[in-house]
Amino acid sequence: MSDSKPKLRSQAWFGKQDRDGFVHRSWTQKPGYPSDSFDGRPVIGICNTWSELTPCNSHFRELAEFVKRGVLEAGGFPLEFPVMSLGETQLRPTAMLFRNLASMDVEESIRGNPIDGVVLLMGCDKTTPALMMGAASCNLPTIGISGGPMLNGKFRGKDLGSGTGVWMMSEMVRAGQMTQEEFTDAEACMNRSSGHCNTMGTASTMASMVESLGMSLPSNAAIPASDTRRNRLAQLSGRRIVEMVKENLTMDKIMTREAFENAIRANAAIGGSTNSVVHLLAMARRIGVDLTLEDFDRIGSEMPCIVNLQPSGQFLMEDFYYAGGLPAVLNEIRSCLHLNAPTVNGRTLGENIEGAPCYNREVIRPLDQPLREHAGIAILKGNLAPNGAVIKPSAASPHLLKHRGRAVVFESIEDFRAKIDDPTLDIDENCVMVLKNCGPRGYPGMAEVGNMPLPAKVLQKGVTDMVRISDARMSGTAYGTVVLHTSPEAAIGGPLALVKTGDMVQLDVRERSLHLEVSDEELARRKAAWSPPPTPDRGYAKLYVDHVQQAHLGADLDFLVGKSGAPIPRESH
Ligand code: FES
């Protein structure tokens, strides 16, 4: 049974009794490791996205120490290594531009080093898919640990959700309902502890996806960063990864088609971020699972949302954990899941969630009393989005889910910012706002600008939502009737590039259609007159625009799709 007792790949470095073996061992011993560290015990790489430029992951050095405790207790040899960290709130032009670069860093760092098993420390939005993608391409035994959400924000006696509160309050300032001073006061109140965004934004969503896929220990998604049970989970994960190496429990044995279907259903049940679509597609295509954009609609769209968290609902991640966290949700929707899916702890998903209690039915609703029916991601098609576009009906206004309106077009995000509050702009709440050139290639990096703020003159009427269409993404903490990820994108000449102000656009979410009322002949004329926007001419940005795939394929680089495992490279000297 060679599968159950794999030869440790780290022994190709540390197990050699020659000059090369001397070099590998001698230099590694520098911190004072005893020589029996190299006696054939599993070497566990702790892949750390700690960075002070990624505030959501700034507690990861402490977390790594708990992983090391667990690895040592189980007889492994832990070696921590840094990889590129992606801070959502700092990195320009958008952290998403660098998701694929960070994944390459992870992949090559794992493959090129004496590592037998991997622990991924992930938190801020893009750090989770980047690490999962890179590790999947190596396919070693791997376990995920999330950094955990922040405690609830508190502002003037009330809870304040990260991200969601920013969008809400900035609109209130523009509508004259909040002063600039009050807005500034809220800064320190929103982010007051370690951890990632405390709404069901992209970070919480992706942590929930990791747990739903079976790639973390149960409860990983929701334990607050500053709750010491997070450290306990890290220590237990450290113990477990050593056993996983001995069992050769590689990622492809866990991240199966069934696991992805579980994740898609879980995403609907938690009211998860639209960003999960591009990330799950990219992760699936790395590990070799044939997942398509249409699967999100077919598998998940009928699922109800049962988690009452911002931005779809009321509460925050701290409340979610105290209510039972993701195990309680998965137990509630167990009839919709593949319960035999294996997980990293060696048990099935069904065994892990059996009897998982819910302690607060306001936060986690019963399946028959959901927060929203049919809450999963809907995939729209039509002459405006031949390869698909994404909408999150649970975050949209019900009265706008079927809408016909006059397009008001913005050629870029700068064009939008320059015009949106111009009193002469011919726009009202019935119009459809169309934003171009913010897709994977156009921005570049597919920025989170799809939830365009409404015109001040519309906000001042008390209107809070309009139909918006773009090839961008939106923050997982955002909300509204926002059509995203339109593919093909404008910058490669997709139909979105051809929309003109004054065209009529029809959105019908129930029919899954997105239609531009312009004849094929007129579109062909416009296409002939269209020319592509300029693209970067050097560095990673050039590599990215030359190779990035469209959103409906996960926006990965074409040469990174798939996995090549972790064969041992030739010696370095
Ligand atoms: Fe890091 Fe929201 S900014 S998770």
Convert the pLDDT of each residue in 406-455 to its tens digit: 999 999 999 999 999 999 999 999 999 999 999 999 999 999 999 999 99
- The residue whose C-alpha atom lies closest to atom 2 belonging to ligand 1 is 197
- The residue whose C-alpha atom lies closest to atom 1 belonging to ligand 1 is 124
User: What is the best residue among 86, 89, 187, 198 to mutate for testing ligand 1's pocket, by most ligand atoms within 8 Å of CB?
Assistant: 89
CA angle 459, 463, 469 (to 5 degrees): 90
What's the pLDDT at 2?
41
**Does the beta carbon of 56 sit less than 6 angstroms from any atom of ligand 1?**
yes
Residue 364 has pLDDT above 50, yes or no: yes
Of 111, 143, 82, residue with least CA distance to 12: 111
Widest Cα–Cα separation across the chain: 78
**Does the beta carbon of 464 sit less than 6 angstroms from any atom of ligand 1?**
no
Q: What is the mean pLDDT of residues 519-526?
A: 97
Q: What is the mean pLDDT of residues 531-560?
A: 97
**Side-chain-side CA neighbours of residue 357 (13 Å):** 3
**Does the beta carbon of 89 sit less than 6 angstroms from any atom of ligand 1?**
yes
**Side-chain-side CA neighbours of residue 561 (13 Å):** 17
Helix (H, G, I), strand (E, B) or coil at 204: helix
Residue 1 has pLDDT above 80, yes or no: no
**Does the beta carbon of 125 sit less than 6 angstroms from any atom of ligand 1?**
yes
> Which residues, at least 6 apart from 560, have a Cβ–Cβ distance to it below 8 Å?
100, 103, 104, 107, 133, 137, 286
Summarised one tens digit per residue, pLDDT across range 384-401 is 999 999 999 888 999 999
Summarised one tens digit per residue, pLDDT across range 171-206 is 899 888 999 999 999 999 999 999 999 999 999 999
Residue 143 has pLDDT above 50, yes or no: yes
Ligand 1 midpoint to CA 40 (Å): 39
Domain regions of the chain by residue span: 11-151+193-353, 378-533
Q: What is the mean pLDDT of residues 342-347?
A: 98
| Whether residue 532 has a cis bond before it, omega within 30° of 0 | no
**Does the beta carbon of 124 sit less than 6 angstroms from any atom of ligand 1?**
yes
Ligand 1 midpoint to CA 208 (Å): 15
What pLDDT band is residue 168 in, cutting at 50, 70 and 90? Answer: confident
What pLDDT band is residue 6 in, cutting at 50, 70 and 90? Answer: low
Burial status of residue 17 (CB atoms within 10 A of its CB: 0-12, 13-18, 19 or more): exposed
Q: What is the mean pLDDT of residues 267-294?
A: 97
What's the pLDDT at 243?
98
Ligand 1 midpoint to CA 128 (Å): 11
What's the pLDDT at 98?
98
CATH of the domain spanning 378-533: 3.50.30.80
Atom of ligand 1 nearest to the CA of 162: 2
What pLDDT band is residue 311 in, cutting at 50, 70 and 90? Answer: confident
Give one DSSP letter per residue of 336-398, joined into a string: GS-TT-B-TTSSBHHHHHTT---S-TTTB--TTS-SBSS-S-EEEEETTEEEEEEE-GGGS-G
Number of H helices, E strands in the chain: 20, 14
Share of the chain above pLDDT 90, in %: 93
In sign, the C-alpha dihedral spanning 283, 286, 287, 293 is positive
**Does the beta carbon of 196 sit less than 6 angstroms from any atom of ligand 1?**
yes
Rounded CA-CA distance 209/203 in Å is 10
Kindly report the average pLDDT of the chain as a whole number: 96
> Which residues, at least 6 apart from 144, have a Cβ–Cβ distance to it below 8 Å?
119, 120, 122, 128, 131, 132, 210, 215, 216, 220, 344
**Does the beta carbon of 201 sit less than 6 angstroms from any atom of ligand 1?**
yes
**Which pTM value belongs to this model?**
0.96
Does the domain spanning 11-151+193-353 belong to CATH 1.20.1630.10? no
Of 14, 80, 69, residue with least CA distance to 45: 80
What's the pLDDT at 3?
47
